[in-house]
Amino acid sequence: MSGTLLPHGLLDLTLARASARLEAVAYHNIRRIALCSARRHAHQSVSLENLTAPEGDHSLYARRQVSRQRASALAAGGLFPHSQDRPLTELEKRIAELKEAPIAETPQDSSIPAYSEAELISMYEDLLAIPAAAQEQERTAQVSDTEQQNVQATVRVAIEALYAHEDPSTIPSDAQSQYTAAIIKLREIVEALESTRTQSDAPLVEVSILSTEEWLSLVQMCVDEQDGQAAETIIELMQRSGTSVPEAALETTMSLYANVGDVANTERLLANFAGQSPPERLRDLHVKAHIRAIEPRTFPTHALSVLHDYEGRGLPAPQRSYTRAITALLTVRSSVAEAQAWDLFAHMRYVAHPVPDPYLYTLMIAACGSRIIAPQPARALDLFTEMTVDKGIPPTAASYTAAIYACAMSGEKLYVGEAFRLAKEMMDGHRDAYGTPAFVPDRRTFSALLEGAKRTGDLAKVRWILAEIVSESLRAARGDVQDAVVVDEKIMTHVFHAYAAYKPPFNRANTVLVDSDASANQPAATSASQEDVPQSDSPSTSTEQAAPQVPVALTSHFTSLLPQSHPEVVGEARALFARILNDAAPALSSSLHSAEVADSSMPHAFQHVTLSPRLLNAFLSIHYTHALFDEGAQLYRTIFTELGVDKNAWTYVEALEQAAYARKGERKQALKFAREVWEEFCGAEEKWRRREETAIKLDARLIERAYVAMIRVLSLTGNTREGVQLVRRFVERYPPDIVKRANPKLPLRSTRTVLEAPRPLVRLVSPTDLPDNTVPPLLSFPELEMLHHKLVAKSDKESIGYLKYVCMSYSGALRRRKEATLHAKPAKDENVTSEPSSRS
């Protein structure tokens, strides 16, 4: 028989019931004989003998009657109806014997027992519902303690055996003294053996000085004491004694070197003991050592070379080595490194491991939401479908979160909706018998959903997600939930960004004002629309600029209705910020606002929020968008000082851009505010150019935005001469010549078509699709267009000519850089490990 055998009990019950029903329908006259013959095949011969015709009756009718009786008896008991023509096999006997018990024990009219849903749940719970996480943690703690005790006990036994003719009690009990004494005695024994072999010219014979367990315990003790040289000495003595070196000893010692990035000792250990074909685990540790040896966010050139070298030798590294290299590439935060990560992923599937594991799938799905290269939500969904549907790999919470994040980063409503659909599938698609979801959303899941909601300006979803997080944190505070998500700085940054991106439905500029005498003639729709507007928001003039500033009432209670006007948006944001100060920094809660924030329903829900520059910038962006200009400028001047938080580059850039796009009636205040911010930015820029340790982090694009914003402010306020001087200053600091210098192409980025090479042979990112994120600061005509218009109005031909020269110089330099990048040949120096800095 082929296939999977049924359980004996189930097979017995099925055959017995089938036989019993056949008897009841077709063989009423011989029921007793059939039941007896059905119980055991061994009894069938006896039963058939009793079915012979009476003596003296040799008629044709009698012989037919006996034939029918024999056939019915065989049919009643026969899983193998033709087996009586030959001796019974052992399998037939066992099946026939198993059939006897259910027929004897179960009445013929009995029915199959019915189980309720609660009984079934209880049954499966007893069998399958094992607290795996708790058992795993407890098992890990017990194993670590037990292993250490076993190692110490084994080493002590080995020392007693080595010093059997001496007094082992004189050896100190500390670990270093123990393995040092063992090494001394082992060296004496091995040297004696070697001298004996030299004198007798006998072949090398394995001598069991210690057992394998004792050798491994000695190596483990040396590694625990971070003494790699002692561990290598023990391995060398093991090899010299003729004992085969176990892979575990090499792996344990090599892990000590690989974890700290000691490439020299790692490669020496491989060369001395592993031979030309090291095992997979040692190959992985070799790659790990090269990755740990480089500085963070550095291109792992040597690690990639090791990977491709193993491929050329026909010994591809394990998949975890490729995962390490891809992770290191993704942390570089460079377009070239991310492209290399995708190429390595495709290359790995082509030459080594066709099916990635769930961790690598998750890593690449998350990489689709890159901030360096444009997000790729379609590719993320394709990889997720390939993993779960095509390859049949069960999804994990991390894979769901990665797909949600990639879709949310696109900012498109279609893919953001797909992100929320995936979140719903994650929660509802994998539930147990109690209805409990298998995947619980964590902080990353909520952050990904907030990322998508804020990019589409969906404040309703952002408020709902925030309420869910707050309620979960409160349940965790009561002890109802373990490892709950709490409101932190990143989550509140997303929330404030959503308030800044939200567009309230009420626009004061579009409101139609009517006289009191004509109010009776207004249509009903107009009256209804005016009733929906709060009294505090009713305008007194027909323009936004002439309207008086509306005082905002701060409250800690929120209604289900979204904010309907700009002041209401600011009010809600201030109430949330006041709650953060009240929970996270009570001493500073009254420094900005004197709002009533006491609310017993949310006790310390925001206590885990850290006051950071990113959080304050997000809070400031709400005032830049929804409040008057003076209010945002005043908050910029006070909030960082009063809360003791340092400003970062984004603080200056966003403040300058707010001044650059101020309304016409606010440009005078914008110029004053911009000069204050620009003075601070210039000081930060000088520190960055001098590469001081206390300098804030700047990049080329932020510098461009700051200069362009200040030039626009000066142009709009009529200070064109000062604007041209600022352009000259920019050109002097960041000349066009540095833009035309292309980065050298790495050998791994070669696009030459070959069948075998120490680089990826399959590419997913072509050179034409690869953005260059190392371009130094530059200026183009769209950025200087406002200044150009003002100069034309003043007929300043000299300045106009200079602007034309600047724009053409940067444009030509950028074009030459692009051509040089596309036609660049790989650098001959293989030690090129990173791209040149964009600093001048």
Is it the case that residue 478 has pLDDT exceeding 60? yes
Q: What is the dihedral of CA 539, 544, 549, 551, to 10 degrees?
A: 60
DSSP-derived secondary structure for 74-89 = HHHH-SSTTGGGSPPP
- Cα separation, 451 vs 420, in Å, equals 11
Which residue bears the tokens 């990143």?
A: 490
Give the residue extent of every domain in the chain: 8-110, 457-510+552-640
Beta bridge partners of residue 437, listed in sequence order: 431
Encode pLDDT of 27-60 as tens digits.
444 444 444 444 434 443 434 444 444 444 444 4
pLDDT value, residue 430: 85
Q: What's the whole-number mean pLDDT along residues 562-571?
A: 92
DSSP-derived letter for residue 355 is S
The two three-digit tokens of residue 524, written as one number: 């009903």
The two three-digit tokens of residue 85, written as one number: 């023509």
In order of 357, 391, 414, 450, 570, the CA distances from 425 in angstroms are 22, 19, 17, 17, 35
Residues 6+ apart with CB under 8 A from 749: 336, 339, 340, 759, 767, 826
Mean pLDDT score across all residues of the chain = 79
Encode pLDDT of 294-314 as tens digits.
998 899 999 999 999 999 899
Burial environment of residue 367 by CB neighbours within 10 A (0 to 12, 13 to 18, 19 or more): buried
Percentage of the chain exceeding pLDDT 90:
49
Q: Do residues 303 and 266 lie in contact, with contact meaning Cβ atoms separated by under 8 Å?
A: no
Is it the case that residue 291 has pLDDT exceeding 90? yes
Of residues 482, 431, 440, 441, the one with CA closest to residue 121: 431
The two three-digit tokens of residue 817, written as one number: 């850089």
Encode pLDDT of 391-403 as tens digits.
999 999 999 999 9
Is it the case that residue 838 has pLDDT exceeding 50? no
Least confident stretch, 240-244, 346-350, 353-357:
240-244
**Is 683 strand, coil or helix?**
helix
DSSP-derived secondary structure for 602-655 = STTTTTT----HHHHHHHHHHHHHHS-HHHHHHHHHHHHHHHT----HHHHHHH
- Cα separation, 243 vs 824, in Å, equals 54
Is it the case that residue 830 has pLDDT exceeding 70? no
More confident residue, 461 or 4: 461
pTM of this structure: 0.76
- Cα separation, 422 vs 406, in Å, equals 11
Of residues 700, 645, 644, 647, the one with CA closest to residue 676: 647
Encode pLDDT of 644-660 as tens digits.
999 999 999 999 999 99
pLDDT value, residue 607: 87
- Cα separation, 194 vs 719, in Å, equals 91
In order of 204, 335, 471, the CA distances from 449 in angstroms are 67, 25, 17
Q: What is the dihedral of CA 516, 519, 520, 523, to 10 degrees?
A: 180
Encode pLDDT of 668-714 as tens digits.
999 999 999 999 999 999 999 999 988 999 999 999 999 999 999 99
More confident residue, 114 or 187: 187
